Amino acid sequence: MVDSIGAGRYAPSPSGDLHIGNLRTALLAWLFARSSGRHFRLRFEDLDRTADGAAERQRDDLAAIGLDWDPPEMRQSSRLDVYAGVVTELMSVGRTFECFCTRREILEAPSAPHSPPGAYPGTCRHLTEAERAARRASGRRPAIRLLSDTDTFTVTDELHGAQTGTMDDFVLVRGDGTYAYNLVVVVDDGAQGVDQVVRGDDLLSSAPRQAYLATLLGIRPPVYAHVPMVLNTDHIRLAKRDGAVTLSDLHAAGITTAQVVSLMAESLGLASPGEPVSTQALLQRFSPQRLPREPWIFEPPQLVED
């Protein structure tokens, strides 16, 4: 049974250690949830590449900066039967079709006017059974796409306002059998009672698709808040290759966990430069309306030489 007070969440992929951009987004998701009286959930999106021990290290780092979350934790790899059931349900009501197109074929195919680059042009939407059989016989493994019945869908974001997305027939199951992000994130948010999604603004364009699918599944779409990213000095999305950006690397550079929290708080306009501050103190200061709308440019410190 879903709790009536709702929940926010943080859902990292356990492919490696969290960097300071990930930690800052997690902090914001926690602040949004706790300041609005919601539960806060933790979910590991581990259907793709994972690294041994990464989930445990991520959990430790989140706790180290002062975040807490409400049980139970969720791992997508334990929910394959759930996703299969949802896809079967959509198939049974005629809301899916098999697609045999390669990515290159989709990019090269003529698309509808005003469609964004890479939007699915509907190539396999109306194939006959004989045509599908011929493609299977050629060795092509089909993806499963949602049969959309609308051209656009609009969501409202707390920081960006109304966002309208083109609604093509997006993938639910990839050709290799892996369940697509747009499917599992909707199913999992519904299962965890998540009615508030706070994440990086690089995912803003995916919100209309996910909200549309939620409505088809009888799930109320969440409230969205897509927050500014953390960029490196080249104004490119921060990544682990940028140097001392994980909590352990920052420790090696002589930066304490408390100082990392202060840096993140300062970047959000919630603390003065160098001010010691706890996450609980930030909760008292937090106001979504006062958050910066521009990305934070982070310059990693140099590692301390032995």
Q: pLDDT at position 2, please?
A: 47
d(CA 234, CA 246): 18
User: What are the structure tokens assigned to 265, written together?
Assistant: 């708080």
**Residue 276 among known ligand-binding residues:** no
pTM of the model: 0.93
d(CA 271, CA 25): 17
Sign of CA dihedral 82, 216, 119, 208: negative
Supply angle C-alpha 280, 285, 291, rounded to 5. 115
**Residue 10 among known ligand-binding residues:** yes
User: What are the structure tokens assigned to 297, written together?
Assistant: 């440019």
**Residue 133 among known ligand-binding residues:** no
User: What are the structure tokens assigned to 175, written together?
Assistant: 């050709």
**Residue 89 among known ligand-binding residues:** no
d(CA 109, CA 48): 28
Structural contact between residues 154 and 213, judged by C-beta atoms closer than 8 angstroms? no
**Residue 228 among known ligand-binding residues:** no
pLDDT in tens, 237-277: 998 888 889 999 999 999 999 999 999 999 999 999 999 99
Q: pLDDT at position 218, please?
A: 97
Closest CA to 156 of 88, 211, 218: 211
Domain with CATH 3.40.50.620 in the chain: 7-78+228-297, 80-190+203-226
**Residue 9 among known ligand-binding residues:** yes
The topology under which CATH files domain 7-78+228-297 is Rossmann fold (3.40.50)
**Residue 305 among known ligand-binding residues:** no
CB within 8 Å of 52: residues ≥ 6 apart? none
Q: pLDDT at position 114, please?
A: 58
Type of residue at 136: R
Looking at domain 80-190+203-226, its CATH architecture is 3-Layer(aba) Sandwich (3.40)
How many residues belong to the chain? 306
**Residue 11 among known ligand-binding residues:** yes
CB atoms within 10 A of CB 129: 7
Rg of the chain in Å (alpha carbons): 21
pLDDT in tens, 222-244: 999 999 999 999 999 998 888 88
d(CA 300, CA 298): 6
**Residue 7 among known ligand-binding residues:** no
The list of the chain residues with pLDDT below 50 reads 1-2, 306
